[in-house]
Amino acid sequence: MTGAAIQGNQEQSIPFTVSNKVTKEPLRECVRDALDSYFIQLDGYTAAGLYQMVLAEVEHPLLETVMKYAEGNQTKAAALLGISRSTLRKKLNIYQLD
């Protein structure tokens, strides 16, 4: 299995996929496709700051969705993300989600 997996309540591994309207693809394939498209759109121009750009595009909706799922509970959200509460607070501040 490729991509991340979500552990269910009964210790089963649930593949993490997103829909691209026609088929389901692992998240990494969607990122790969988006990057391929980005490089085509560059049309010879030089890209810079790509790492931070991709992280910001993925991290913001990740934090937003996890905070919604955790009903605003930062302790629960930090546990879901596998990061400390102080790291979560810093990231929420960066994206103005606090």
Domain count for the chain, please give it. 2
Q: What's residue 13's pLDDT?
A: 60
Helix H or strand E segment including 17: strand 17-19
Distance, in Å, from the CA atom of 58 to the CA atom of 29, rounded to the nearest integer, reads: 13
Q: Are residues 19 and 40 in the same domain?
A: yes
Query: What pTM was estimated for this model as a whole?
Result: 0.69
Cα(37)–Cα(8) distance, rounded to whole angstroms?
34
Quote the domain boundaries for residue 52.
48-98
* HEC sequence for 20-60: CCCCEEEHHHHHHHHHHHHHHHHCCCCCCCHHHHHHHHHHH
Q: Which two tokens stand for residue 90?
A: 């810093």
Digit-by-digit pLDDT tens for the chain (98 residues) are 334 444 445 555 666 666 656 666 788 888 899 999 999 998 888 888 999 999 999 999 999 999 999 999 999 999 999 999 999 999 999 999 98
Q: What angle do CA 84, 85, 91 make, to 5 degrees?
A: 95
Tell me which amino acid residue 52 is.
Answer: Q
CATH of the domain at 69: 1.10.10.60
Verify that 93 and 60 share a domain, yes or no: yes
Q: What is the pLDDT of residue 43?
A: 84
